Amino acid sequence: MSRPLLEVQNLTMKFGNLIANDNVSFFVNEGEIVSLIGPNGAGKTTLFSCISGFYKPFAGKVFFDGKDITGKTTHEITLMGLTRTFQIVKPLKEMTVKENVLTGAFLHAQNKKEAELVAEQVLQMTHLWEKRDMPAGSLTIADKKRLEIAKVLATKPRMIMLDETMAGLNRTEVKEAMELCVALNKSGITLLIVEHVMEAIMPISNRVVVLNAGKKITEGTPEEVTNNEEVIKAYLGERYYAKSRQTNRGI
Amino acid sequence: MKNRMLYGILLAILILPFAFQNVNFQHVLIMFLIFAGLGESWNIITGFAGQTSFGHAAFFGIGAYTSTVFFYKFSVSPWLGMILGAIFAAVVAAVVSYPCFRLKGHYFAIATLAVAEIIKQLFVSWDYVEGATGISIPVKPDSFWLMQFHKSKIPYFLIAYILFVIALTVAVLIERNKMGYYLKAIRESHEAAEALGINTTRYKLYAMMISSAITALFGSLYAQYILYIDPFMVFGLDISMKIVLLTVLGGIGNVYGPVVGAGILIPLSEYTRAFLGGTGKGIDLMIYGALIVVVACFEPRGILGLFKRSKKRGAQYVKTAA
C-alpha cells in the first residue's frame, strides 16, 4: 500500500515546561475524513499549528505526500497542497468576500482571469456567491466560518485541516457545514477535522483520533471510539457515557 | 469608469499650470505633485501591506543625496543619479527592513522611525558629503541633462508630473493585481495570509523596496528643484510625518487618498508660509493637526472614507424608498 497522505511521527511540542503534544503519531490516508477530538486543552490546535508550520515541533516528524515538511514555513506547506483554517476566524475584513477568495485563488492561477474563475467556482460551491460583494467583516459567524473554508479551498489543496468550523453554529448551520465537508471530500479533498460537535462529525468521519492532555489515547472508527471506555470517561463525560449505555441496552 | 476618473484627475492637473501662469501657483503645484507621489509610494507599504513606516524620509534623503553627491563630486547627470538613488534606496530598504519585519504593528513603526533618525545622524557627521552644512548644488545654465531650469518652472512641473504618474501607475497596478491582494491579506492577518500560501516576508520586502525606490526618485527631484540640501531638510522627521499625515487625511490604502490629502495640505502649508512669513511657521501644521484629529475621530478611512460613507447611506436611502 502506498504511504498515507499525512503522517505524523512522534510529534512533541513544548511551551516552556508545558507539554502540549506528547509523542503523538497518527496518519491520514488520501481521500479520508479523519477527526481529531479531545477535551479543551488536549493540544488539538497546537498539533494543527505544528503540522501547518506555524510552530516548529520540539521533536518528531511530519510527512506530507511522502515528503518531510517538519519545520517548513506555512506558505511552503500550503503551496504543497496542505492548508488549514482557523478556530478563531481570520477573514480579511476590509476586503469583500470575493476578494478574500480571490486572494487564495492567486496561488496557482497564472493570471487574474484564471483566479477569478476559480474564485467563482469556490463561491458557488460554498454558497457564498450571493454575498460576494459584502465586506468579509460584516458576515455572520456561520458565513465567516464558511469563508474560512472558501479561502483555503481556492488555493486548490489536496488536504484541508479544519479547526472547529462548526463551533458556535446552530443546528441548521451545523448541518450545512457537514454537507459542505462531505461535498469537499467527494471532490477529492482529504480532511482532518478538529471538532467539538460530536453528532456532526461522528457520522461523516472514516476514523477518529482522540487526544487527551497532549497524548493520543486511542484511534479507530467512530463506533470503536465512542464505545471505548477510556474515551467515554476521559472526554465524552458521564452524560454521554450513560446515554451510550442506554442505547446499547436498547439494542 | 474607474479609469475615466483617474484620467480626468491627471488631465486636470496637467492643464492647471498652463491655465494659471502664476509662478507661486506653479510652485505649489510642483510641491503638491511631489508630496502626492510620496503619499502614493508610502501607501504601498503602509496602506496596502499595513506595515506603518514613519521613516520614509530616509529614502527621500537617500534619493536627494545620491543624485546631488554624484553631480557635485563627479558631475554625473542628476538623471542617472536619480536612478542610482532609487536603487540605493531599495537596497537600503531591503537590508534595514528585513530584520525589522520580525516586529509587528507599532514596534515596526518605531523601528522605522529609529532607522531614519540613525541615517540622518550618519549624514550629519559624514564629512565627505559636507555633514550638517549641506550641499549647494552648483548653478548651471538651463539644461535638460543637468536637470536645471531657471527661466520657467514648467520643466520642473513636467518632471514632477511624470514621476507622480509613475507612482500612481505603480500603485494602481499593484492594487489591481495579485500583489495588491497579497499585500492587503498581509495587512489583515499575517497568519491567514500564510495559510493562503503567501510568503509574507517576501511580499513585504517587495512592497518596501518598490515604495522606497519611488520615494527616492522624488528626493532627487526635490534636491534639483530647491538646489540645496542638508540632512535636517531631507532626512527630517517632518518629511516622514507629512507623508504619513497627508495620506491618512486623504484616505489610507486608497490610491486617491494621497491626491486628496496633498491637495489640502500642500496649498495650506505653502500659502500660509507665503502670507504669514516667518511668524506663520507651523500654523499650517496646527490646522492640519486639527483636521487629522477630526478625521481620525469620525472616519479613520480619511476624507474619502467620509464620501464613501455618505454614498452608502444615500444608496440605502434609495433602497428603502424604493
In a domain, B295, yes or no: no
In a domain, A233, yes or no: yes
Work out the burial of residue A102: count CB atoms within 10 Å of its CB; fewer than 13 is exposed, 13-18 middle, 19 or more buried: buried
Total count of domains within chain A: 1
- Closest-CA distance, B194 to chain A, in angstroms, reads 5
C-beta atoms of A103 and B253 within 8 A: no
Chain B residues lying within 8 Å of A102, measured CB to CB: 181
In a domain, A70, yes or no: yes
Q: Which structural domain, as residue segments, surrounds residue B43? A: 2-237
Rg (CA), chain A: 18
In a domain, A149, yes or no: no
ipTM over 0.85 threshold: yes
Task: For B183, name the nearest residue in chain A, comparing CA atoms only.
Answer: A103
In a domain, A118, yes or no: no
In a domain, B271, yes or no: no
In a domain, B296, yes or no: no
Total count of domains within chain B: 1
What DSSP letter does each residue of B122-171 carry, written as one string?
A: HHHT-GGGTGGG-EEPPP-SSBTTTTB--S-SHHHHHHHHHHHHHHHHHH
Contact pairs from chain A to chain B, CB under 8 Å = 78
Query: Closest by alpha carbon to B282, among B22, B65, B290, B136?
Result: B290
Q: What is the pLDDT along chain A (251 residues), one digit of tens a residue?
A: 578 999 999 999 999 888 899 999 999 999 999 999 888 888 888 999 999 999 999 999 999 999 999 989 999 999 999 999 998 889 998 899 999 999 999 999 889 999 999 999 999 999 999 999 999 989 998 899 999 999 999 999 999 999 988 888 888 888 888 999 999 999 999 999 998 777 788 889 999 998 888 889 888 898 888 888 877 777 666 566 566 666 655 44
Is A102 in the B-facing interface, judged by CB distances under 8 Å?
A: yes
Q: Which structural domain, as residue segments, surrounds residue A172? A: 6-92+157-250
In a domain, B227, yes or no: yes
Q: Is residue B301 a contact partner of residue B252, using CB atoms and an 8 Å limit? A: yes
In a domain, A111, yes or no: no
Q: Residue A39's domain is classified under what CATH number?
A: 3.40.50.300
In a domain, B287, yes or no: no
Is A134 in the B-facing interface, judged by CB distances under 8 Å?
A: no
In a domain, A191, yes or no: yes
In a domain, A11, yes or no: yes
